[in-house]
Chain A
Amino acid sequence: MSEGLKSALVHGGLLVVLFGLQFVLPAYHHGNLARIMVLASYAIGFNVLFGYTGLLSLGHALFFAAGMYGMGLSVEHLGAAPAPALLAGVVAGLLVSGVIGVLALRTSGVAFMIVTLMFAQAGYLTVLYAGAYTRGDEGFVVQQAQRVMMGVDLSDPSHRYFAGFTLFAICLIATLWLVRSPFGKVLIAIRENEDRATMLGYDVFARKLAAVMISGTISAMAGAVYGLLFGYVGASFASVQYSIFPLLWVLLGGAGTIVGPFIGTLFMFYLIDLSSQVTTAYMLIAGIVLVALTLFAPQGLAGMLRKRIWRGLP
């Protein structure tokens, strides 16, 4: 079986299963999975930068929130319809990631991590500071009437599932295509050895900037869709925790794999969901998983698959 066919089977198979699950899942898990697919899209965005370009950002919540607030504020204050509001969110993500990219990419390694963390923290504080528009910590609800897109009511669970599935499928297929394209190969080359990539004649800065913007824009798209589907926009989505989450999901699932972000998000979502039924200190699980992954399995679940079973897993 050729590598291309195998890849089509694995990723196509995942999409078919996810599509089919909506007809059989009980309501509770149906709702969870809709959420997971949107969050996994966020993780896919993060993975483009972390897994494929080798840049570890600790401030992706800024992009997620840029999309969410770009969408939410234009609905709330400009009375925008869902479609243009989503577009506003995506454009906000594109702009914010462009600016952050230009600044943060002047640094590398640990400094890059701290700089992105600080910018995201400034963004979070700005959301709080601009409480007159954002309602700060409390956030605001996107009303059911404001969530009807081209006649489809996105607050309806089955529509919501399908919208989440569509977003996820688009992100999955787009990144699969991206990492197999010549551009994607250059990103991987930068991850493997930046100096060598420069000395092959590649403008490494420009390509890293493009990677930040692609990653930021996908994250923003996920943020915008999340706000629209679940009808709530709040400052917690801009907090450090939401910068750590995609790192956690991607590390757990397997950085630099296409299915990894989904696997990681799925596992972590249910781990936290189950533990929050027992204790309010559910983030303990996140801490333990982070430490355990760094110690024992830096390649994550899909990374282990790649090592043991199929080396060509994209």
Chain B
Amino acid sequence: MEIGPYLMLASLEGAVTAAVLALTAVGLSLVFGVMRVVNVAHGEFFMLGAVLAWWVTSLIGGHPALGFAVALLSVPVLVGLLAAAADMTVLKRVSHDPERTIVATIGILYILQQVTLMTYGPDARPVVPPFNARLALPWVEFVGGRPQLYWPWGLSTTSYKLAVIGAATLVLIGVWLGMTRTRAGLLMRATQMDRDMALAFGIPVERVYALVFGLGAGLAAMAAVLIVPIQQAHYLMGGDPLLLSFIVVIIGGLGSLPGTVVAAILIGLSDGIISVFFSPTLAKILATLLVALVLVFRPQGLFGERRT
């Protein structure tokens, strides 16, 4: 295959990564934006989403689409409830102190991961996609100076991958509308702007926090349910989404949903394309260094405002 179709394929794969990443990162960004805490266990909520999706689909049986639909609706809610419970039992008790919250979420990370290992086991397990038609993609070639469509061998995607992109877009629009048009969104934004003022106005800040923490984790779980038919569920799969979400949130700017989405698209697409040319390990090294250096030299970007 020549380079053109190859890049197109890489961009499509990148778009799937970007869609899932945007959901995961928006969850992390929301938590950081409103609660001013970093949830290190975010990747484990993602993992939990994938593992529970496997569990739900294998429990239901029948047509794969049925189980998948149930998983898509129920798993994010389950994970969100679990996260909200963790917020109310653990994070609330350390008053959402930024540093102690990080230590506590590291603990939660290990608890979720290891309990999954004990119950679900060390294997990677697939989930059957609800539909998976192969779609061949055309490319343009010039024959005698005239453009002509043709279908290169191997240049194809699946209907499911396109559906992932579409579903993620819908959910993101939903989050956006929820944040800007609903009462719950208003409470979240008020809390984000000034916690003490929100308290003074009688906003139940603790409940808003639990809601946001649950919502953040639910979005990660939703992303995982979408990706699990492509990627398989494994108890150690939370590391990469956590790292990538960090990168996206830090590059995209604090708590800014549009910034996060743009950064997710950028990182997702370039991840797809870069990995065509570089080893994935080298790409990860560069990405982690980039995050560290952005934080060092542009601290106002993400955490700067917190300095007192």
Assembly CA distance A167 to B193 (angstroms) = 51
Bound Cα distance A239, B254 (Å): 27
Q: List 9 A-B contacts (CB under 8 A).
A: A56-B102, A110-B38, A113-B99, A118-B291, A247-B106, A287-B109, A287-B114, A290-B104, A290-B110
Asked if A115 and B282 make an inter-chain contact with CB atoms under 8 angstroms apart, the answer reads no
**Measured between alpha carbons, how far is A125 from B284 in the docked complex, in Å?**
8
Q: How far is the CA of A244 from the CA of B102 in the complex (A)?
A: 11
Q: Quick one: which of B94, B110, B289 contacts A283, CB cutoff 8 A?
A: B110
Q: Are A294 and B285 in contact (CB under 8 A)?
A: no
**Residues in A lying within 8 Å of B, measured CB to CB:** 56, 58, 103-104, 106-111, 113-115, 118-119, 121-122, 125-126, 128-129, 244, 247, 251, 279-284, 286-295, 298
Closest beta carbon of chain A to B246's beta carbon, Å: 7
The reply on B93 being an interface residue by CB < 8 A is yes
Decide if A284 touches B114 in the complex (CB within 8 Å). yes
Per the bound structure, the CA–CA distance linking A25 and B100 in Å amounts to 38
Among A103, A247, A293, contact of B296 (Cβ-Cβ < 8 Å): A103
Q: Which of A282, A291, A292 has the most CB of B within 10 A?
A: A291
Given contacts A104-B296, A109-B306, A115-B296, contact A283 B114 (CB under 8 A): yes
Size bin of chain B's contact surface: 35 or more
Q: Smallest distance from the beta carbon of A70 to chain B beta carbons, Å?
A: 19
Q: How far is the CB of B47 from chain A (nearest CB, A)?
A: 14
Within 8 Å by CB of A251, from B103, B117, B288, lies B103
What is the interface of chain B mostly: helix, strand, loop, or mixed? Answer: helix
Q: Do the beta carbons of B99 and A109 come within 8 Å of each other?
A: yes
B303 at the A interface (CB under 8 A): yes
For residues 271 through 308 of chain B, which have their beta carbon under 8 Å from a beta carbon of chain A?
Answer: 279, 281-282, 284-285, 288-289, 291-293, 295-297, 299, 302-303, 306-307
Which one of A104, A280, A290 contacts B106 once the chains associate, using CB atoms below 8 Å?
A: A290
Min Cβ gap B180→A in Å is 27
Cβ–Cβ contact B117 & A113, under 8 A: no
In the complex, how many angstroms separate the beta carbon of B36 from the nearest chain A beta carbon? 9
| Chain B interfacial positions (CB closer than 8 Å to A) | 38, 90, 93-94, 98-100, 102-104, 106-115, 117-118, 122, 243, 246, 250, 279, 281-282, 284-285, 288-289, 291-293, 295-297, 299, 302-303, 306-307
Docked-complex contact B94 and A121, CB < 8 angstroms: no
Interchain nearest-CB distance for B218 vs A (Å): 21
Is the Cβ of B289 less than 8 Å from the Cβ of A294?
Answer: no
Decide if B292 touches A115 in the complex (CB within 8 Å).
yes
Q: For A125, list chain B residues within 8 Å (CB).
A: 281, 284-285, 288
Q: Which of A129, A288, A295 contacts B281 (CB 8 A)?
A: A129
Report how far A109 CA is from B292 CA in the complex, Å.
Answer: 14
CB-defined contacts of A282 to chain B, threshold 8 Å: 114
Question: Across the interface, which residues of A come within 8 angstroms of B103, CB to CB?
Answer: 56, 247, 251, 290, 293-294
Across the interface, do A110 and B303 meet the contact criterion of CB distance under 8 Å? yes
Question: Judging by beta carbons under 8 Å apart, are A284 and B303 in contact?
Answer: no
Residue of B nearest to A128 (CB): B281
A residues in contact with B122, CB < 8 Å: 280
Bound CA–CA A104/B297 (angstroms):
10
Q: Indicate whether A281 sits within 8 Å of B115 (C-beta atoms), given known contacts A287-B108, A294-B107.
A: yes
- A residues near B94, Cβ cutoff 8 Å: 294-295
B280 to chain A, nearest CB (A): 10
| Alpha-carbon distance between A2 and B250 when the two chains are bound, in angstroms | 52
User: How far apart are B255's CB and chain A's nearest CB, in angstroms?
Assistant: 14
Given known A-B contacts A128-B281, A284-B118, A111 and B102 have beta carbons under 8 A apart: no
CB <8 Å contact, A279 and B118: yes
Chain B neighbourhood of A280, CB < 8 A: 117, 122
Residues of B within 8 A of A108 (CB): 307
Q: Which residues of B contact A128 (CB under 8 A)?
A: 281
B110 touches A114 (CB 8 A): no
Closest residue to B97 on the A side, CB-wise?
Answer: A294
Q: Which partner residue on chain B sits nearest A290 by CB separation?
A: B107
A104, A119, A290, A293, most chain B CB atoms within 10 A: A290
